[in-house]
Amino acid sequence: MKIIDSISRMSVLIKILKKEGKSIGFVPTMGYLHEGHLSLVRTAKKHTDVVAMSIFVNPIQFDRREDLEKYPRDFKHDEGLARDAGVDIIFYPSVKDMYPDGYSTYVNVEGLTDYLCGSSRPGHFKGVTTVVAKLFGIVKPDIAYFGQKDAQQAIVIKRMATDLNMDIEIKILPIIREKDGLAMSSRNINLSEPERKDAAVLFQALKKAEALVKEGERDAKKIIRQMEAMIKGKETAKIDYISIVDTKDLKPMSTVLSEALVALAVFFGKTRLIDNIIVKA
Ligand code: AMP
C-alpha cells in the first residue's frame, strides 16, 4: 500500500496507472475509519484494478469550528485498517496543498442543497462538492464509492458528476450499522456513555416510520410526530430536523407516495448524528 501525501506525487502516480490501463476505484473519506468506510473499499476491490482512498478532514465543509476541532483523527490506526481491507493507495494531502493561498474556486449544486442538512448547515455542501470535485480531478477515478449513510451528499455528488460531465460512475452502498442499529460514524467516538445508549433511538425511530408506512400511514406529519416523541424521550437528544422527502429531488413530502427518504439529524450532547431510511408505500 502506497501512502501519498502530496497532490503532485499523486498526479504522477495516477498518470502511470492510467498509462498501464488500470481502472481506478476511489473511496473519499475524512478518516477515523470504521466498517462503513471499509465496506466501500471491499466493493471497490471487486470492480476495479486499483483502489485509492483519500483521508482528508476538509475544513471548508464544517460550519462549526468546534466540530472541525473535535473531529477524530488517527492516521496510524487508519493505515492499518486500510491495508487490511486491501487499499492500494492512501491519498493524505495537507490543507495547505488542497487550499493554497489565493484559492478561490468553489463548486455549488443548487436546489438539492436547499433541504435537510443543506438548510441546517449553511455552506456545508459547497465545501463537500468543492473537495470532491478537486479529489476527482486529482485521482481521476473510473468509479467512486459513497455511503447511503450520507444520503443527501450521495445525491448531490451524483448531480455534480452528471452536470459537470465528469465521466465518473458514482456508486452508493448501504449503511453499515452497529449491533443496536446505530449507523457507524467516525463521530460516534465523541459520544459519552449515556449519549451512546440514547443514540440507538435513531434507528428505532426510522424503523417506526417504516412500520407506520407499511401499516398504511401516508401522512408525513403524523409519522414525524411519532418519531419526535420517541427521540424526545431520550434525555441527551436534541432534534435538529426530521424530514420526509422525495428520494430524487429531496423536496419535502406531505403525503408518502411510492418511495420516500426519511432523514434525520439529532444532537446528542454536542455531537450531531445523521441517519436515514428509504420507505416504500
Ligand atoms: P466520512 O469519512 O464520514 O466523510 O465518510 C466517507 C464515506 O463513507 C462517505 O461516502 C460516507 O457516506 C461513507 N460512510 C460513512 N459511514 C458509513 C456507514 N455507516 N455505512 C456506509 N457508508 C458510510
Which CATH number describes the domain made up of 186-276? 3.30.1300.10
Instruction: For the sheet with 169-173, list strands across it.
Output: 2-4, 89-91, 50-55, 24-29, 143-147, 169-173
pTM of the model: 0.98
Q: What is the residue extent of each domain of the chain?
A: 2-173, 186-276
Give the contacts of 26 (CB within 8 A, at least 6 positions apart): 44, 51, 52, 53, 54, 135, 136, 139, 141, 143, 144, 145
Residue nearest to atom 14 of ligand 1 (CA): 147
Residue 53, strand partner residues: 27, 90
Q: How far apart are CA 205 and CA 223, in angstroms?
A: 10
What ligand 1 atom has the least distance to the C-alpha of 177? 19
CA distance 7 to 10: 5
Q: What share of the chain is helix, strand, coil (3-state, %, to 5)?
A: 45, 20, 30
| pLDDT at position 17 | 98
The tens-digit pLDDT sequence of the chain (281 residues) is 999 999 999 999 999 999 999 999 999 999 999 999 999 999 999 999 999 999 999 999 999 999 999 999 999 999 999 999 999 999 999 999 999 999 999 999 999 999 999 999 999 999 999 999 999 999 999 999 999 999 999 999 999 999 999 999 999 999 999 999 999 999 999 999 999 999 999 999 999 999 999 999 999 999 999 999 999 999 999 999 999 999 999 999 999 989 999 999 999 999 999 999 999 99
- Give the pLDDT confidence score for residue 80 in this predicted structure: 98
Res 217: pLDDT: 98
Cβ(178)–Cβ(252) below 8 Å: no
Domain 2-173 falls in which CATH fold?
Answer: Rossmann fold (3.40.50)
Joined together, the cell numbers standing for residue 16 give: 502511470
Burial string for 203-234 (b: 16+ CB within 10 Å, else e) reads bebbebbbebbeeeeeebeebbeebeebbeeb
Q: Which of 26, 27, 29, 131 to mutate to test the pocket of ligand 1 (most atoms within 8 A of CB)?
A: 29
Looking at residue 73, its pLDDT comes to 98
- Ligand 1 geometric centre to CA of 108 (Å): 21
